[in-house]
Each structure stands twice: as structure tokens, then as C-alpha cells.
Amino acid sequence: MADKKWVFLFDEVDQAEAYMGNNWENVRGLLGGKGANLADMARLGVPVPPFFTITTEACNAYSADKHFPEGMWDQAMAALKKVEAATGKKFGDVNNPLLVSCRSGAKFSMPGMMDTVLNIGLNDQTAGGMIKLTGNERFVYDAYRRLIQMFGSVVLGITEEAFEDVLNEFKKSKGAKVDTELKADDLKELTEKFKVVVRREKGFDFPQDVFEQLRLATEAVFNSWNGKRAIDYRRATNIPDDLGTAVNIVTMVFGNMGNDSGTGVAFTRDPQTGERKVFGEYLLNAQGEDVVAGIRNTEEIDTLGSVLPEAYKQFMDICSKLEKHYHDMQDVEFTIERGKLWMLQTRNGKRTALSQIKIAVDMANEGLITKDEAISRVTTDQVDTLLHPQFDTKTKSTAKKEGRFYASGVNASPGAAVGQVYFDADTAQRMAKEHKQDVIMVRPFTKPDDVHGMLAAKGVLTSEGGATSHAAVVARQFGVPCIVGASIVHIDMDKRQMEANDVVVKEGDWISLDGGTGEVYLGKLALTAASLEEQKELITLLNWADEVCAKPGIRKFPEGWPTRGLQVWANADYPKDAQRARAYGAMGIGLCRTEHMFFEQTRLPIVQRMILSDTTEGRTEALNELLPYQRADFEGLFEAMDGYPVIIRLIDPPLHEFLPSEEGLLEEVITMRVKGETEGLAAKEKLLASVQSMHESNPMMGLRGIRLSIVMPEIVEMQVRAIFEAAANVQLKGGTPKPEVMIPLTGHVNELKWIQPRLERIVKQVLEEKGVATLHYKFGTMIEIPRAALTAGEIAEVAEFFSFGTNDLTQMTFGYSRDDAERTFLVQYIEKGILPKNPFQELDRDGVGRLMKIAVEDGRKTRPTLEVGICGEHGGDPSSIEFCHLLGNNYVSCSPFRVPVARLAAAHAALKYAPK
Ligand code: PEP
Ligand code: MG
């Protein structure tokens, strides 16, 4: 262990690479993202203060027994000597002291979740030396009091309030509003007061031994890996617990040495919109935490050009150099010390979904990355976020007219959120989780300890802080709509209320946030669907995704099987849904549930008459009345999807679903009898008797689907006539309808053999009547019963296509009721880890998926060109889409709103499994 290398110097990145098998991801794992990138920047020739990194391996060894591993501290001390040599300063030296920061840095950035201590190396002696050296007593005491404050809270565990209270009291006594108004003598006095806080709280003095300071700070950073907020954050982001954090010991550079000094943070592109423009803020004569904390008003980065032009130009050059090097938008921290620029950090910047998509598309257009990389970089969740509901302008202007506009702040993370206000993270989480409320968390500012509340909330509002504050960064990452710095809002934590312009909002009241514009409204605003049409870059990205899927040879399969990727179709019952689906990029309709049309107000009475009729003639008469409605529905669908396949499923549910409930009828009949009402009683009794006669103990396994078609063929005969009359009409008008008739719930090939020829005869008859010679159409079936999957070879003799109805197939394979399982046991199953995922949301590849595989393989053995799709809810789920890609599906079909997500998921699968 003693000869293991625990420490890497700023110029040892090549060694770290060699040690990690020349794998940069592993170097990041060893040195942490911050350490690895600092060393990488040093290698690129970017000015970085000399530093060394103690590895994550050391952190893990330390975590095991709370002791530094053997040899680690000696190596750290040796590295410190090298840093001393590089800076010409000496740690603890009275005349020329080296000051360092001790910074956390894990493989994946966890902004603000772990600890950092600045200005280590200051004590009563070195402070004197620093004053002689800089001639700036004010600066030195400011640095010293900050060290005691940070060391006290981070390392010694004293509450921040203990220092803040003293500071606020002190400022008041000096008549100072902000810290910068405090003079050198004041800060010297404050330093002494802070030392008293340490003594009072801990019973010992702030350590004057600088090596002791460094050692304790290193331990504190290691320990912060297992702090509550770090653990919460890891849970939320799926970062493994065993990675550990590295510790970076970095030479301090000072942005608070006068007006030729400053410090700032910036993104190389706009993290909210993705615009190609350096976006950031800085403060002259300040230290890093002043910018992030939002205590002083920061300046926009552009203005640095006129204040410190040379440093600004160098900074801009470095930004573009870093983007080119990392091929991604960077989030950087810098400090200018007496005109000299130092880069303190670079990492891939967190950003909104909107920004991610724009940056990916722009970078591909700029040639920085390939189109495939752009596609891979954007997650399906990000696309989903962009298509989340918004408030439309009309809703907002009406709300304004009604006097419901409340406040505005910085639009930190886009999206609309409506919820009840809670003022702390624990309550917000409890109300959301236990009481199932929609929650808006409101805080003066959020700290990393508030993350669990932010994650549980629909939206976050703060009265302080800026666009790079923790609230903003974290909200953007998780896609939580967020407004920060709404300074007009005064939060009273004691009364648990907030007030703006004399309007008080109490805990539990409803508000609405527009994270895209930064507006806060009182009460609940109505949400509307987002429009894809206006999202230029997303459209481009999805077109690229379609190109990937359209490439022949992207899948390798036997003859007849698809060799391009998946197409995305949509489940749509009405022409307006079909239009939306097409606008969202669907290339067909994979499921039209015709029975939904039966429920419309004008039609339901006719449907009921048809069901209740005792004679075939009576049924036919009612069906003839329904036919024109259905024909018109189908014409609309074919027109909306002109040129694309439209799969229309024949009636599926049990008929009792169209009738009033048995319990309700019984109650009505009894009431009428008791009250002695006779008018209409006979009809009600007859209806009740019919409903009772149709009662089934297990209707989902009863008279429905193909079984109903066989028992009562008139209904599906009418439907097929309506489909083909509509198709013929549309074709005669010059359109290209492509109807595909889908028969649900087949379990035995003989069922199909019985019904399908009857229906095909009707097709021929209609086409003859209409004088249409050729029309592209197919007959196929749903595979949603295990027996159908297992006998797919036979079924494919009759069916020209299969569509997996994975809602029913999951229900029947697991034997879980799709209507009740979640409510009764399934949620518990998932919480207890009995099932990894809800199988009604994400396809169970091992069980249901195995049946699907058998069905595709056996089906295509019989009919190699068999068209295969999926139309259960899984058709819009990225993992299930990937499975369908591997299975050899031709398409997936999902809700129109999920189509964009499915297009991206299909391309992700195609790229992931493309033949090399
Ligand atoms: C299915 O079972 O997956 C399906 C799409 O049909 P429904 O949900 O209408 O039963
Ligand atoms: Mg079904």
C-alpha cells in the first residue's frame, strides 16, 4: 500500500493516464472530474494555479477505517513541496506564505453537494507576512475571517448561522450594509470574533498549525462524500456510492486584491437557451463564493471586456479552446489576480433540455461533433421535457387582467408548474410523497441540503440568487421548472408565508410558475400542450434520428426481415390525433381503437340499441345508423395519414362497457319501486335484465375481441364496410389510403380462419360497388394472448401482420390485472425489489419479451415479410423500443405526444447496435 500512488501532481496527467490504461473516463474516476480537467487544462497550456490531487482510491481507503492509507500523507507533503517550488512560496512561511484551497471533486460533478475550504495556510503569523507582502491588510483579514468561517462550518461542524449572526450583528454595529463596506480594522476585529465563535462552540481554538488545517480539511472533504446531501444527490442521479471523491489542493489565487482583480463563473454557451455566446457573471474585487452566493449584484461577462480587456480576451480564447478540446459546452470558473487570469475549473456544463438540444444540433452543424453524436447526446427525457405542457400567452394575459400576476424573477429552468406552496424541503417532500400534492417549494435561496425537496416539487421559487445559483443549476439538471431571485417576494419563515406588493401567500396556497419567462402567478393556471412546430432544433435533431433509422443495413436480419431501423407510428382514434401524430413525425397509425368512437354522445344511444336488440334485424338497423358515422371517422383518418398505413382495430371490449352499470341500474329500479314511480320503470327493468344477462365474472377474459366478432359478426361486418367505403371514397378523390384491418385478441388460428374470410368478402364487395380496382390493404391480428405468440407460425398463415398488444400480453403473461395490480400490490412489488420495474410501463424482456421473440421468429418462418409492430403502452417507452429494435419489429406505435421521444429512442437503439 505504501508504494501505491495516491497523489498526482498538476503535471502528472500522462502518468495518471498510463496508470488507468489510457482511458480518460477512468482517469476522471481516479482524479475526479475537477482534478482530471485541471490537469488536462494544464497540459493544454491553459493557466491553472499549481496543484495536486489526492485520488478517489485514497478516499475509499479512508472511508473504510477513517484513516489515511499508508503513504498518502507523505506523498501529499512531497507534492506540496513541488507546488511550493512552482509558486516560489512556502506553506506556513511567515515571510512568503503559500495559501491553498482544499476542494472536493468526484468523477461526476455534484455541484455544491460536497465540501471545499479556501485560504488554508493563514494563521496569526502568516497573516502578518501576507500583509507585508501585499500591503493590503483589508484583503488579508477578509481572507482570514473567511477561512475561520469555512473551516468552522465545514471541518468543525459549527452551524453557518453561528458565524452569520455574529457577522450581521457586527455589520449593523458598523453601519455597513454589505461586506465590502467593512474596513481593514473591522475585518481584523471580525476575525477575532470568529475565533471566539470557534472556542465557544468547540471548546478549543482555531488551529494555528497550517499542516493541521490541511489535514483536517482533507478529512472533511473525504467525509463529505458520505454526507446526507451528497447521498441524496447520488440517489437522484444514479451515481454509484463507491466512486468516492478526490481532493484537490490548489494554490490560492485571489480575486479580491483590488479592482484589477476579480472572479467569475461562465458557460461557454447559454445554459438556458443554448445560444452560442459566452454566458456568465463576475465580480471585481471578490472571492469565488461571492458570485455563487448572490450576495452582491454580479456583472454580465460582456462588460469585463471594457474593464480588464486583456484578461477578457484571453478568457474568451480559452473558452473556445476548451469547447474545441472537449467538444461540449463548458462550465468554467476563473479568477483574475492583479490582471493575471487563472482558470480554476472546467467541466461539461449542466443545461436545460432546450439548451442541450440546440447545442447538440449547433455543434454538429459547426463540425465539432457528428450528427450521430448529437443524437446520442440528447436523452429521451430531455425531448419529453420540451414537450411538457406550458402556459399559453392567452392564459397568462387573462391571469394578468384578473390581477393574478404576482412577481417575476430570473427564468432559471423552463417549464410550467402549478402547485401548493411549501417553505422548506422536508415539508415539500412530505406533502408531495405522502399527501400526493403538487408542490412548489419556495425558499429565500436553496442550499444543497434542499435537493430532496426540489426533486419532489413540481417547481421551485427563490427570492434570492442568480442564474448560476445552486437552485438554478440543480433545477435545470433535473428539468424542474424554476424561478430564482424574485426579490420582490419577502418570505417570512416564522409565519410560513410570503408577501409581495402586499399580497400574502400562505403555506398550502396555490401558485403557478412559468420557468421559461420567470413569471409567478397566483392560483392555478391552465396548462396547454407544447408545440413541436416552433422548436426548430428539435425538429432537425429528430429528422437526423429518422435518417439513422431509415438507413438500410443498420440492422442485420434474415431475408425478408427489416434491415432499416424502427419506424414510429401512433395510436390515434380521431383525425385530429392523426394530424398531430403526423406533425410529430409518425409514419402511420398503429392502432385506432374504433370503439372509442362508439362512446360519443350522439352514437352511444344507437350502440346501446344495437346491443339490447333481441333480433338480428334490430341489430342490423342500428348498425346501419352507425355506419355513416364510422365511415366519416375513417375518411378523416385516411386523409390525415394519406399515403401512410392506418391500422384500424375492430371492436375489442366486452359490450357491457357500453351500457350503464348494473349496480347503478339496480339502485334506480329499487328507488323507483319504493317511491312507486311507474313511468319508465318497465324499460329500466328490461335494461337491468339485459345487463344482468351479460354479466361475466371475468370480463377481460370473456366475450370480447375476436370472440365477440364470431358471436356477433354483424358489428365487425359493419366496421369493415365502413373502413372500405371510406378508403374507396378517399382513393376516388385522389388520395392514397392504406387501410390495415386488425383483429384483436386472437388465441387460436381457427378463430381467424372463421372470421377473416367473411370480412375479406365484404372488402371485395365494397370495392366492386365503388368501382375501385386496386387498393392497398392488409388483414392482420394483435398478439396479446400467450397462446397466440406460441402458435404464431400457424397464425401467420392467415394474418399478414402482427401487432403486439403488450398491455394485454403483459396482463395475461404475468396473470396481473392491468386495471388493479398497481393499486393492490404492484407498487409494493417494485418498492420491495421483487420486480425491477413496472412491467406495464417497461417491457419485461425475459417473460413477455420471450413470447414476442418466439412470435416474430415463428411468424416470419411462415411469412418472411410479416409486418410486425407494437401498439401497447410500451411502444412509447425507450427501453421497450430498444427491445423492439432488437426483436426485428418494423415499427413501434405510441401516443401522438410520445412520437418525438420514440423517434429519438429508435435512433438511439439503431446507433447502439449498428453493425461495426
Ligand atoms: C394492448 O392490449 O396492448 C392493446 C393495445 O389493446 P388495449 O389496450 O386496447 O386492450
Ligand atoms: Mg388489448
DSSP string, 57-75: HHHHHHHHHTSPPTTHHHH
Lowest mean pLDDT across 369-383, 474-488, 517-531, 592-606: 474-488
Question: Relative to the CA of 805, which ligand 1 atom is closest?
Answer: 3
Given a cut of 60, is residue 452 above it in pLDDT?
yes
- pLDDT category of residue 1 using cuts at 50, 70 and 90: low
Which 3-state string (H, E, C) describes 527-544?
CECCCCCCCHHHHHHHHH
Q: Tell me which residues have their CB closer than 6 angstroms to ligand 1.
A: 591, 593, 652, 784, 805-808, 871-872
User: Which ligand approaches the C-alpha of residue 892 most closely?
Assistant: 1
Given a cut of 60, is residue 502 above it in pLDDT?
yes
Q: How far is the CA of 872 from the centre of ligand 2 (A)?
A: 7
Q: What is the pLDDT of residues 648-679, one digit of tens each?
A: 999 999 988 888 888 989 999 999 999 999 99
Q: What is the dihedral of CA 246, 247, 249, 255, to 10 degrees?
A: 100
Lowest mean pLDDT across 235-239, 523-527, 907-911: 235-239
Q: What is the pLDDT of residues 284-313, one digit of tens each?
A: 988 776 776 655 678 999 999 999 999 999
Q: What is the pLDDT of residues 753-809, one digit of tens each?
A: 999 999 999 999 999 999 999 999 999 999 999 999 999 999 999 999 999 999 999
The one-character DSSP state at 448 is G
Nearest Cα to 650, choosing from 575, 724, 600?
724
Nearest Cα to 730, choosing from 640, 809, 859, 790?
640
Alpha helices by DSSP H, listed for 701-748, are: 705-711, 713-732
Classify the C-alpha dihedral 283-286-292-293 as positive or negative: negative
pLDDT at 295: 59
> How is residue 510 written as a grid cell?
396555490
CB environment 815-843: b (16+ within 10 A), e (fewer): ebebeebbeeebeebbeeeeeeeebbebb
Given a cut of 80, is residue 2 above it in pLDDT?
no
Best of 573, 589, 592, 593 for a ligand 1 pocket test (most atoms within 8 Å of beta carbon): 593
pLDDT at 467: 67
Beta sheet of 459-462, edge-to-edge order: 405-408, 519-522, 510-514, 416-422, 439-443, 459-462, 482-484, 410-413
User: Which ligand approaches the C-alpha of residue 840 most closely?
Assistant: 1
Question: What residues contact residue 860 under an 8 Å CB cut-off, 6+ apart?
Answer: 558, 560, 561, 796, 866, 868, 888
Of 552 and 413, the structure prediction assigns the larger pLDDT to 552
Whether 482 is a known active-site residue: answer no
Q: Which entry of 470, 656, 874, 885 is annotated as an active-site residue?
A: 470
User: Which amino acid does the sequence have at 176?
Assistant: A
Question: Relative to the CA of 571, which ligand 1 atom is closest?
Answer: 5
- pLDDT category of residue 903 using cuts at 50, 70 and 90: very high
- d(Cα 164, Cα 295) in Å, to the nearest integer? 13
Q: How far is the CA of 741 from the centre of ligand 2 (A)?
A: 15
Q: Which residue has the cell 400542450?
A: 529
Given a cut of 80, is residue 476 above it in pLDDT?
no
- Judge whether 287 and 99 are in contact, CB under 8 Å: no
pLDDT at 600: 80
Q: How far is the CA of 804 from the centre of ligand 2 (A)?
A: 9
Question: Relative to the CA of 811, which ligand 1 atom is closest?
Answer: 2
Beta bridge partners, 825, equal none
Distance of alpha carbon 385 from the chain centroid: 7
Nearest Cα to 450, choosing from 473, 484, 431, 424?
424
The one-character DSSP state at 895 is -
Q: Could you tell me the CA-to-CA distances from 813 to 573, 791, 843, 847 in Å, in that order?
A: 27, 15, 12, 7
- Judge whether 903 and 568 are in contact, CB under 8 Å: yes
- d(Cα 450, Cα 583) in Å, to the nearest integer? 40
- Judge whether 428 and 409 are in contact, CB under 8 Å: no
Given a cut of 80, is residue 529 above it in pLDDT?
no
Q: What is the pLDDT of residues 22-35, one digit of tens each?
A: 999 999 999 999 99
Q: Is 619 left (phi over 0), alpha (psi -120 to 50) or beta?
A: alpha
pLDDT at 457: 95
Given a cut of 90, is residue 211 above it in pLDDT?
yes
Residue of minimum CA distance from atom 9 in ligand 1? 593
Residue of minimum CA distance from atom 8 in ligand 1? 807
Q: Could you tell me the CA-to-CA distances from 675 to 663, 670, 672, 684, 752 in Å, in that order?
A: 18, 9, 5, 15, 51
- d(Cα 655, Cα 26) in Å, to the nearest integer? 61
φ/ψ (deg, to 5) at 851: -60, -40
Q: What average pLDDT does the structure give for the chain?
A: 93
Nearest Cα to 118, choosing from 252, 218, 255?
252
- pLDDT category of residue 384 using cuts at 50, 70 and 90: confident
Question: What residues contact residue 814 under an 8 Å CB cut-off, 6+ apart?
Answer: 839, 844, 847, 848
Question: Relative to the CA of 806, which ligand 1 atom is closest?
Answer: 3
Given a cut of 80, is residue 367 above it in pLDDT?
yes
> Strand 567-571 vs strand 891-894: parallel, antiparallel, or unpaired?
parallel
Q: Which residue has the cell 409492430?
A: 869
Beta bridge partners, 183, equal none
Q: Which residue has the cell 392497398?
A: 776
3 state DSSP class of 262 = strand
User: Which amino acid does the sequence have at 560?
Assistant: G
pLDDT at 468: 64
pLDDT at 389: 80
Average pLDDT rounded to a whole number, residues 207-235 = 93
Whether 884 is a known active-site residue: answer no
First to last CA, the chain: 42
User: Which amino acid does the sequence have at 902?
Assistant: A
Question: What residues contact residue 247 under an 8 Å CB cut-off, 6+ apart?
Answer: 53, 54, 58, 59, 102, 103, 104, 105, 218, 221, 222
Residue of minimum CA distance from atom 1 in ligand 1? 805
φ/ψ (deg, to 5) at 388: -70, 160
User: Which ligand approaches the C-alpha of residue 807 most closely?
Assistant: 1
Q: What is the pLDDT of residues 582-609, one digit of tens each?
A: 999 999 999 999 988 888 888 889 999 9
Strand residues in 137-293 grouped as ranges (E): 245-251, 262-267, 279-284
User: Which ligand approaches the C-alpha of residue 872 most closely?
Assistant: 1
- d(Cα 204, Cα 196) in Å, to the nearest integer? 10
Q: What is the pLDDT of residues 228-245, one digit of tens each?
A: 888 888 888 888 999 999
Q: Could you tell me the CA-to-CA distances from 709 to 138, 606, 912 in Å, in that order?
A: 89, 18, 43
Nearest Cα to 478, choosing from 723, 697, 694, 233?
233
Q: What is the pLDDT of residues 686-736, one digit of tens each?
A: 889 989 988 998 888 999 999 999 999 999 999 999 999 999 999 999 999
Element (H, E) at 781: strand 778-783
- pLDDT category of residue 87 using cuts at 50, 70 and 90: very high
Best of 782, 818, 852 for a ligand 1 pocket test (most atoms within 8 Å of beta carbon): 782
